[in-house]
Amino acid sequence: MNSTVDNVPFFDLKAQLAELRPKLDAALEVVYREASFVMGAEVERFEERFAAFCGAAHCVSVGSGTSALKLTLQCLGIGPGDEVIVPANTYIASAIAVSQTGARPVPVDIDEFYHMDVAHVRSALTRRTKAIMPVHLYGQAMDLRELLEVADAHGLAVVEDACQAHGATFHGRHVGTIGNAGCFSFYPSKNLGAFGDGGAVVTNSADLADALRLARDFGQRRKYEHLVKGDNSRLDTLQAAILLVKLDHLSVWNEKRRALAARYDRELGALGIPPPLRRAEAGHVYHLYVIEMTQRDRARAFLAGDGIQTGIHYPVPFHRQLAYEDLGLLAGSLPKTEESCRRVLSLPMFPEMSEAQLRHVMDGIEAFLSAERVGRSKALSEVAP
């Protein structure tokens, strides 16, 4: 079964679930017996373990990654009339979280690592700017050194969107612990995923952690004592039990993703396709393995014909979505982001992906490139017979 493969999913949880099934069943069984489904013992245990994993003083779990971002901004005092600078190249949730606070997301263009360009951040600063939200996109840590200087000089908060970067590091330091706070998502397809929605904030600030604990649970520290108008955004006990089991495997899974990425790098290089640019200081966790191709849409259709699923992250940036029409940003206003949206292609990537599956993807890409070459020389010979 492993020697020949005729289709490769973009992402597949089934093998991981089969392997973990006995441990997961046992962990869930404990929750069923305790019958404490909200704020049960597993929630606190997971928070302690995830804080320790990241090297953060505190972890506060919440209902989703979006909620982690929104509540963190709100607890930092961000709201209507404020601006938060975000990279244009991100999943729309980064921007939506800002909008949910009543503040305005201000998109800036990206650098060659798909991270927000700090020069553009500087020029986007206004009197209303209150925070900057760097996104560790695709699982690669952004270099936050210069950004932190800008934030310090202007008294701005830095909220890291680490929703794609569980375990990613910069100079050995975990993402999420470099700015004021780091926000994670446990959506099932993330590097650490639950069986539904979930999220967490890590921070070294005891005050922020305390405010977040109130914000996620109706503003109560003790039952029926409501100090602020908090939200209802908690991590289910069942999800925490699942995440506790999976957290033990995260480092090994990330290692497997890195090994697959190194295989892709070599094979693509041999075909003349540049592998993704990497920062030497960044411990990349390859939530996504993203290459660029000018003939991206044709490549994608060709690969699909070979049973190879790919993804596009993202086809349309948030400032060009109907939802953000109010920003009034025309096509071409953030050119690097818009160009990358036309070129990026995410190849299949998950820890359990086999060598045979990788082989099949590479054979598909090679076949596509030679089909393109034949097509081009045919077209040329038609023009000049």
Region from 29-37, 53-61, 90-98, 123-131 binding ligand PLP, contact rule CB under 6 A: 90-98
Q: Is 83 in the site for ligand PLP (CB under 6 A)?
A: no
Query: Which residue in 109, 197, 217, 338 binds ligand PLP (CB under 6 A)?
Result: 197
Query: Which residue in 50, 53, 91, 264 binds ligand PLP (CB under 6 A)?
Result: 91
Region from 34-42, 89-97, 229-237, 238-246 binding ligand PLP, contact rule CB under 6 A: 89-97
Q: Is 179 in the site for ligand PLP (CB under 6 A)?
A: no
Q: Are residues 344 and 134 in contact, defined by beta-carbon separation less than 8 angstroms?
A: no
What is the per-residue DSSP string for 247-273?
Answer: HHHHHHHHHHHHHHHHHHHHHHHHTTP
What is the per-residue DSSP string for 296-335?
Answer: HHHHHHHHHHTTB--B-S-SS-GGGSGGGGGG-PPTTSSH
Residue 168 CA from chain centroid, whole number: 11
**Count of positions on this chain that bind ligand PLP (CB under 6 A):** 15
Backbone angles phi, psi at 72, to 5 degrees: -65, -45
Q: Is 87 in the site for ligand PLP (CB under 6 A)?
A: no
Q: Is 237 in the site for ligand PLP (CB under 6 A)?
A: no
Q: Is 199 in the site for ligand PLP (CB under 6 A)?
A: yes
Q: Are residues 88 and 337 in contact, defined by beta-carbon separation less than 8 angstroms?
A: yes
Beta carbon nearer to ligand PLP, 140 or 310: 140
Beta carbon nearer to ligand PLP, 197 or 338: 197
State the minimum distance, in angstroms, from the CB of residue 313 to ligand PLP: 8
Beta carbon nearer to ligand PLP, 91 or 218: 91
Query: Which residue in 114, 187, 264, 302 binds ligand PLP (CB under 6 A)?
Result: 187
Q: Is 231 in the site for ligand PLP (CB under 6 A)?
A: no
Residues 105-144 touching ligand PLP, rule: CB under 6 A, are 135
Which single residue brings its beta carbon nearest to ligand PLP?
65
Structure tokens at 297: 């849409």
241's CB contacts (< 8 A; 6+ apart) are 27, 28, 30, 31, 42
State the minimum distance, in angstroms, from the CB of residue 43 to ligand PLP: 16
Identity at 266, one-letter amino acid code: R
| Three-state secondary structure call for residue 1 | coil
Beta carbon nearer to ligand PLP, 349 or 358: 349
Beta carbon nearer to ligand PLP, 193 or 364: 193
Residues 270-309 touching ligand PLP, rule: CB under 6 A, are none
Q: Is 65 in the site for ligand PLP (CB under 6 A)?
A: yes
Among candidate residues 340, 345, 189, the one with its CA nearest the CA of residue 275 = 345
Region from 6-14, 58-66, 211-219, 364-372 binding ligand PLP, contact rule CB under 6 A: 58-66
Structure tokens at 221: 């520290």
State the minimum distance, in angstroms, from the CB of residue 356 to ligand PLP: 29
Among candidate residues 191, 259, 229, 212, the one with its CA nearest the CA of residue 53 = 191
Instruction: Report how far residue 81's alpha carbon sits from residue 366's, in angstroms, rounded to the nearest whole number.
Output: 52
**Bond preceding residue 314 cis, omega within 30 of 0:** yes
The torsion angle over the Cα atoms of residues 283, 288, 290 and 295, rounded to 10 degrees, is 180
Query: Which residue in 101, 129, 164, 357 binds ligand PLP (CB under 6 A)?
Result: 164
Residue 283: in which H helix or E strand, if any?
Answer: strand 282-283
State the minimum distance, in angstroms, from the CB of residue 67 to ligand PLP: 7
What is the per-residue DSSP string for 130-171?
Answer: EEE--B-GGGPPP--HHHHHHHHHHT-EEEEE-TT-TT-EET
State the minimum distance, in angstroms, from the CB of residue 170 to ligand PLP: 17
Binding residues vs ligand PLP (CB under 6 A): 64-66, 90-91, 93-94, 135, 161, 163-164, 185, 187, 197, 199
